[in-house]
Chain A
Amino acid sequence: GAGVSQSPSNKVTEKGKDVELRCDPISGHTALYWYRQSLGQGLEFLIYFQGNSAPDKSGLPSDRFSAERTGGSVSTLTIQRTQQEDSAVYLCASSPTSGLGNEQFFGPGTRLTVL
């Protein structure tokens, strides 16, 4: 498809395990964003990439969270030693570039449940 895809769509894990979430942006989009939405909350910015570099990592909630992007395309968000409060929907978005005037196209999200 032509849209942003994310995998897996659902992930159930046990507390303390590591998880990897994947995002495939729209081809040619240089900017990529990760957000999470906890129950009853708005979208919380986590990190964004321009190409392979991440100018702004300020939204990552703790050092258990990391993200990388290779080849200016696919990105993975890794959560180490998951905690129950990490349970949320993790959304990825891409845009042709960063900066004004560029709307973000969102994927369907990965629903993470930490037991």
Chain B
Amino acid sequence: DQQVKQNSPSLSVQEGRISILNCDYTNSMFDYFLWYKKYPAEGPTFLISISSIKDKNEDGRFTVFLNKSAKHLSLHIVPSQPGDSAVYFCAASRAGNQFYFGTGTSLTVIP
């Protein structure tokens, strides 16, 4: 039973444009959400997080939006750069213990 879903397996964006990666979850008890970035043959690296008391968190070119009523979060990357090409995983947790990950979205930023 997939509690965190990333319905787009892949996304291609032109360099300089906005990349929007989406994530949906089913468990309303989740209160902490993270995005990870993964390059081939490496472990995921933390990108940005948001707790359920917020609806937006921004860090440089990366912004995460949380819509609790829709059980939806999204990651915006502006402007997109070729080095952003990677697989992006969203993850959700209740109280920061067990984490549930989505299946990932492969982002390709075209120069």
- CB pair A100 B31 closer than 8 Å: yes
A35 to B31: give the CA distance in the assembly, Å. Answer: 20
Partner of B102, one of A4, A42, A59, A100: A42
> Which residues from chain A contact B32 at a C-beta distance below 8 Å?
100-101
The total of chain B residues at the interface (CB under 8 A) is 28
Chain B residues 23-41 with CB under 8 Å of chain A are: 31-32, 34, 36, 41
Partner of A104, one of B4, B41, B46: B46
Given contacts A35-B101, A48-B98, A103-B34, contact A42 B89 (CB under 8 A): yes
B99 within 8 A of A: yes
**B38-51 Cβ-contact flags toward A at 8 Å (1 or 0):** 00011111100101
Partner of B96, one of A40, A42, A55, A102: A102
Least CB distance from B8 to A in Å reads 13
- CB pair B49 A42 closer than 8 Å: no
- CB pair B97 A42 closer than 8 Å: no
- Which of the listed residues B6, B32, B34, B96 has the most CB atoms from chain A within 10 Å of its own CB? B96
Given contacts A98-B96, A100-B96, contact A93 B103 (CB under 8 A): no
> Which residues from chain A contact B49 at a C-beta distance below 8 Å?
101, 103
A109 within 8 A of B: yes
Partner of A106, one of B6, B43, B96: B43
A105 to B99: give the CA distance in the assembly, Å. Answer: 13
> Which residues from chain B contact A106 at a C-beta distance below 8 Å?
36, 43-45
Chain A residues 20-53 with CB under 8 Å of chain B are: 33, 35, 40-45, 48
18 example contacts (A-B, Cβ-Cβ < 8 A) are as follows: A41-B103, A42-B2, A42-B89, A42-B103, A45-B98, A45-B100, A91-B44, A98-B97, A100-B31, A100-B32, A100-B95, A101-B32, A101-B49, A101-B96, A106-B43, A108-B41, A108-B42, A109-B43
B→A interface (CB under 8 Å): 2, 4, 6, 31-32, 34, 36, 41-46, 49, 51, 89, 91, 93, 95-104
